[in-house]
Amino acid sequence: MLKVVKISLAVAALSFGANAFANDVNAALSNICTIVQADDKGELRKKMKKVQSDYKLKLQDYYSGVSCSGESLIRFAFLNGAVESGSLLIKKMPKSQLNAPEADGKTLRAWVSDKGLMDSPIAKVLNDRI
């Protein structure tokens, strides 16, 4: 009986800890969309370093979980003309993830082409990276 109580308490503690961790990460990333929209490369770099040092998460770990006005961070940078931020995000993402389809099933390159943004300076960085 005592083992069951101990196991139950351990599971409850782990569950609570995971929720607290997720809430902390969400709080840390709360203004990342504003930073990208403002095209503040220095602040974005600081934010990414803080999340990596505090939570041991790299951009690829939380990229798919962040949505800015319904778009991913790089797509949001494209739509807002945030060249510096968009370029930094592209350089920090693994090539395999840049070529992978996003939530809507389109790759980043296909989405850029569909939106007519191939002349954007960010598209040049993307094409050079892929």
The per-residue pLDDT for 45 is 92
Decide: pTM greater than 0.85.
no
Residue 102 lies in a domain: yes
Residue 18 lies in a domain: no
Return per-residue pLDDT of the chain as tens, 130 residues. Answer: 444 444 443 444 444 444 444 556 666 677 888 888 999 999 999 988 988 888 888 888 888 888 888 888 888 998 898 899 999 999 998 998 888 888 888 888 988 888 888 888 988 888 887 8
Q: Give yes or no for a contact between 32 and 62, defined as CB atoms under 8 angstroms apart.
A: no
105: containing domain: 31-129
Residue 11 lies in a domain: no
Residue 72 lies in a domain: yes
For helices 2-28 and 41-55, give the axis angle rounded to 10 degrees: 170
SS3 content of the chain, % helix, strand, coil (to 5): 70, 0, 25
Q: Which residue has the tokens 């069951």?
A: 4
Residue 121 lies in a domain: yes
Our count of domains for the chain comes to: 1
Residue 35 lies in a domain: yes
The per-residue pLDDT for 22 is 53
Largest distance between two CA atoms of the chain: 68
Residue 21 lies in a domain: no
Whole-Å CA distances, 76 to 4, 51, 113: 49, 20, 15
